[in-house]
Amino acid sequence: MNRSCLLRLATAALIPAAALSMNFAALAQSPPATPPAASTPATPAPAPVAPVTPSPATPAPATPAPVTPATPPAAAQAPATPAAPSVQTADPFGEEITLAPKQVLSFNGKANWDSAFETLMDSFKQLTALLDKQGIKSSGNSMIVYTSTDDTGFTFLAEIPVDQEPKSLPKAMSLGKSPDGKALKFVHRGSYDNMDNTYEAITNHLDDKKLEAKDTFIEEYITDPLKTAEDKLVINVYVPLK
């Protein structure tokens, strides 16, 4: 209860007490109309009534203020998961290796950059379908060998290593050997569309080291591109050196 309420209650209690005091004073000043008989004692005046002190009103229970949930500090909040970079520092970048030749079933193809990934995956599907039909299992990871490129597209060899020799090959397929010799190894993680960033980093690395690469380069798909989400791909990029 606030201070103004207490003052209003105290003023209301004093008003009846003041009225009673004025009445008693008037009675004392006015003489009785009929003198009392000698044998009859005067009736004593009633004792003044003490003003009633109002009991303080029971304060209403305070309404608890709504509790606002505390905002956790920025450090406690789960940070957004950043997108995986196309090149991770923990992966080999520019590692010198020597490629060993492998027997591979190859598909000779051509693609436009706008539909590059779809064309490459279609070539892997054709190779896999032929191997499955003849009951031959691959003996290594699928590869793409880029044989030439220009502004609109590129020519390539899609290759799957095999230990057995497939029979009755279509015109676009052949049995051969994968590239061999000295090369630099780089690793790409993520979608095929983001590989431009990886190749830009490779170009910068070659310029910084003053290294001269051959006209071909190889992509080895560590994750199966036909069964792995595109943004989860892991691809080794090999750059043969002159």
For residue 57, tell me if it sits in a domain. Answer: no
For residue 227, pLDDT beyond 90: yes
Count of domains for the chain:
1
> pLDDT band for position 75 (50/70/90)?
very low
At 109-141, the pLDDT tens digits run: 999 999 999 999 999 999 999 999 999 999 999
**Structural domain harbouring 110:** 93-240
> pLDDT band for position 18 (50/70/90)?
very low
Between CA 121 and CA 64 the distance in angstroms is 66
At 145-202, the pLDDT tens digits run: 999 999 999 999 999 999 999 999 999 999 999 999 999 999 999 999 999 999 999 9
> pLDDT band for position 57 (50/70/90)?
very low
For residue 198, tell me if it sits in a domain. Answer: yes
For residue 152, tell me if it sits in a domain. Answer: yes
For residue 2, tell me if it sits in a domain. Answer: no
Q: What is the pLDDT of residue 87?
A: 55
For residue 115, tell me if it sits in a domain. Answer: yes
Most confident of 5-9, 44-48, 227-231: 227-231
Largest CA distance in the chain: 157
For residue 219, the domain's CATH number is: 3.20.80.10
The residues facing 185 across adjacent strands are 95, 238
> pLDDT band for position 86 (50/70/90)?
low
Q: Where are the beta strands (DSSP E) in 64-164?
A: 93-99, 103-112, 143-149, 153-161
Residues 187 and 235: beta-carbon distance below 8 Å: yes
Average pLDDT, the chain: 76
Q: What is the pLDDT of residue 215?
A: 87
For residue 54, tell me if it sits in a domain. Answer: no
